[in-house]
Amino acid sequence: MSKYPPLSPIVAALPATVPFVGPEAQERDRGGPFRARLGANESSFGPSPRVVERMQAIAGDMWMYCDPDNHDLRLAVAAHLGISADNVVVGEGIDGLLGLLARMYVGPNDPVVTSLGAYPTFNFHVAGTGGRLVTVPYENDRESLDGLLAAVKRENAPLVYLSNPDNPMGSWWEADEINRFVESLPETTMLVLDEAYGELGPASALPAIDVARPNLIRMRTFSKAYGLAGIRLGYAFGEKQVISDFEKIRNHYGVSRMAQEAGVVALSDQPWLQEVVSKVEAGRQRIAAIAHDNGLIPLPSATNFVTVDCRRDGTFAGKILQSLLSRDVFIRKPMAAGLDRCIRISVGLDHELDILAEELPGAIAAAKGN
């Protein structure tokens, strides 16, 4: 039998798993494409035409490495937020930045607080550092601020994760409640506030920007409202020393030249962003109407998806999901107990929502055994 070099103890103890099974993998397994791609929370409306034009114009320059300082993009983000470039770090989407954050603040067996059923990639990165997840159940389909705070204080946790607006439920807290939560945290606990869907919800959900607080990092992405999920680009902002600490471990050549250029142009075209936000709102209303027409309950959403209460249990919701997949409609669902009664449907193009409206009645009937 062959011998292998030993893995580190942390990696050796991990299961062979990934946070998500992508639609591409599902299409390979099923031997064909989906007709409606409504599960990955992407923007089917795509990026600004100005971004596409710029990317096409510079395609021939991709023989050059990227700028490892992300200089122009950091300046553009800083100008967009009204802060200094020293308060901004750029990474390979929020996922990449979460991986760095876990390495910065979490050691073996350190407790890390998050919500039960919240974004699983964060959990994936915490596991990779050997940290110990402490999960708090949702309350009324929202992450429980009081529950998270109590867990942080009980565990003396160095890191706590909160998304606002939330994935997978689409819910949100108003800015004053977020501020109350931040101010109640111990100074020794870092809060990562994931605002991936921030551009798509009410402005009242986003606290005023304050980069003086050393235990708060806020993260945003170009994957959702800006329609650039495929290039993997996001940024974090916070207090200067905290941002500077990313320099110790970040992948300095991780954000491609194409991504940096695309991000600069995307930020400059705010009218396109507002057009997309309007289309997303119309799509949410359409999905809600389809759900109501089929006897399901759409939950209020501040994101580019609608979470739909199937009015039974997780087994029933899972049958609806599987039946839709068999009808070439890709969606996803929450998996945590209490949330798993729901399915989650991303806003798509009109023809995709037409397919959803056509196929959902049959999927529900199949789930009921009719």
| pLDDT beyond 80 at 113 | yes
Give residue 310's pLDDT: 98
pLDDT, one tens digit per residue, over 300-356 is 999 999 999 999 999 999 999 999 999 999 999 999 999 999 999 999 999 999 999
- pLDDT value, residue 19: 78
Q: How many CB atoms lie within 10 A of CB 183?
A: 8
User: For residues 50 and 45, what is the distance between their CA atoms, to the nearest angstrom?
Assistant: 14
Which residue is it, tokens 């501040």?
302
CATH assignment, 9-46+271-367 = 3.90.1150.10
> Using 50, 70 and 90 to split pLDDT, how confident is the model at 1?
low
For helices 350-367 and 270-293, give the axis angle rounded to 10 degrees. Answer: 30
pLDDT, residue 21, reads: 87
The span from the CA of 19 to the CA of 13, in Å, is: 17
Does this model's pTM top 0.85? My answer is: yes
pLDDT tens digit sequence for 168-186: 999 999 999 999 999 999 9
Average pLDDT, the chain: 97
Query: What ranges do the domains of the chain cover?
Result: 9-46+271-367, 49-269
Under the banding of pLDDT at 50, 70 and 90, the label for residue 48 is very high
Say if domain 49-269 classifies as CATH 3.40.640.10: yes
Residue with tokens 């902002």: 237
- Distance from C-alpha of 334 to C-alpha of 340, rounded to nearest angstrom: 5
